[in-house]
Structure 1
Amino acid sequence: MHELFEFPADGGGLRRAFANFPSGVVAVCAEIDGTPHGLAVSTFVPVSLDPPLVSFCVQNSSSTWPKLAAAGHLGLSLLGTDQQDAARSLGARNGDRFRGTELHRGTGEAIFIDGASAWIEGVPKAQVPAGDHAVVILRIHRIATRADVDPLVFHGSRFRRLRAEAS
C-alpha cells in the first residue's frame, strides 16, 4: 500500500501537486523599442493543428507581460537541457534576464534564444483571464526544431533531464 498525502486545495497544496507533473520550460521573448524583454513559462500547451495554435500562461502580477503583449510577434524558445541558467535569469524579477545569452531575430519584434530545442514564432490571438493568471493563445507562423538538443524539464521544483529507456 502506498502512503497518500492529502493537502488543502489552496495555493500551497496545488503547488505541491503540480510539482509531480513535469513540464518543459519556454522563453517568451520580444524586442520592444530596441530592448529585449522576456520571461520563462512552464505552462505551455499545444492547442490546435488547424489552425496552428499554442497557449501559455502568465501571472497577472508580471511586469514583463504587458510589454510583451504589445508586440506584434513573439518568439518562443523551448529551452534545452544546457539552458538552466537562461531559465533562471528569465524567471528572475530583477537583473539582466539575457546575461550570457545569445539571441537571434525573427519576424517583427520576435527574438529567440540560441541553443533551444525548438523555436516557435507567432502572433498573440487571444488572452483569457484565468484566476491569478492569463491564458495566452498564439497563432504559429514559423517553427524550427533541433533533433540534437533535448528539452529542459521542470519537475519537483527543479530542472531535470529526460532519460531514454533502453530498447
Structure 2
Amino acid sequence: MFATGVTIVTARAASGELIGLTANSFNSVSLEPPLVLWSLARAAGSLPALSTGSHYAINILAADQKELAERFAARREDRWAGVAWIEGAGGAPLLTGAAAVFECFNRSRYEEGDHVIFVGEVERCSHRAGAAPLLFHGGRFYTEHPL
C-alpha cells in the first residue's frame, strides 16, 4: 500500500557490459554528504558487477518512460537495444529523458536478509524541468495528479 517512484539503476561492468535494472527501493539518506540508497536481491545476476564497480547512476523515470521500466524489469537478451543514453561518471549510462539522474560513487553495501543495500554518494545530479514522475502502486504504473 506504499506508492513509490520508479528508477532504473545503471552501471558499466569491468568487462564494458552495460548493466541496468528497474528498482523502486530508492531513498534519500543524507544531505551532507549527499547520500542515497537502493537495494538489490542477492540472487540478482547483476550483483557482482554492481558490488565491485566504482559508480552507478540512479535514473528517476518520467511518466513517459513506462516502457523502459517494464523493459529493464524483465529478463531479456538485450535490454539496451535502441535505448538512448549518454556516458556519466565512471562510465555509468545516463538514460535520456529521465526526470532526474543521480550519478553516484559506490560508497558502501550492507547485506540484510535476501538483499544488499547500496549506499551511493551523489557526485552529480540533474533533472528535466517539468517532467512528471512515473509512479508505482499495487502492481500498476501511475503519474502524478495534484490534489
TM-score class, shorter:
over 0.9
Runs of 4+ in structure 1 off by over 3 angstroms are none
What percent of counterpart residues are identical? 33
Which residue is equivalent to 1:30?
Answer: 11
Summarize deviations over 1:20-60 as a string: whole Å, max 9, x none.
10001111111223321111110100000011000001111
Q: Which is bigger in relative contact order (C-alpha 8 A, separation at least 6)?
A: 2
Q: 2:91 aligns to what SS in structure 1?
A: coil
The structural deviation recorded for 1:70 is 2.0
Summarize deviations over 1:69-95 as a string: whole Å, max 9, x none.
222111111011111111111111232
Summarize deviations over 1:104-148 as a string: whole Å, max 9, x none.
111222111111000000111111112111111001100001122
The Cα RMSD (Å) is: 1.2
TM-score between both structures, scaled by the size of structure 2: 0.93
Which residue is equivalent to 2:54?
Answer: 72
Q: Is the 8 A contact 2:103 2:122 kept in 1?
A: yes
**Higher percent of residues as strand:** 2
Q: Which amino acid aligns with 1:45?
A: N
Which residue is equivalent to 1:48?
Answer: 30
Aligned residues: 146
Stretches of structure 2 that go unaligned for 5 or more consecutive residues are none
TM-score between both structures, scaled by the size of structure 1: 0.83
Q: Is the 8 A contact 1:86 1:98 kept in 2?
A: no
